[in-house]
Amino acid sequence: MIRLVKSLARSIVATIGIILIVSAVGIAIAVNAFDLRLTGATALYFVIWWILLFAVLPFGVTSQHESEKIAAGTDPGAPTTPALREKALWTTFISSPVLVFTAAVLPLSGL
């Protein structure tokens, strides 16, 4: 799975396409199976996605100080390879099931 995500994250077009498809599937499941409105499910998904993004961002980060490759004019605490596209994919893969779980467990019928 890790290799698949890395290979998909090489292209920004593929990354955006996968994020849109997986997000749409998660939102569609929440709307059809749990009686949420499209706007409510989209808003809830947006909040879940951003919260999980901030949880995923620190994973696998190596600072320039740790790798001893400090670029001139940058902070030594800056990451060497942030891998933001990979983290966006991981966030999407995690947040869609979280949305479905949240819609199933919590009574969100008025959303």
What does the pLDDT look like over 25-69, one tens digit per residue?
A: 999 999 998 888 999 999 999 999 999 999 999 888 887 778 777
End-to-end CA distance of the chain: 34
pLDDT at 27: 95
Dihedral of alpha carbons 42, 43, 46, 49, sign? negative
pLDDT at 53: 96
Computed over every residue of the chain, the mean pLDDT equals 87
pTM above 0.85, yes or no: no
Q: Where are the domains of the chain?
A: 2-105
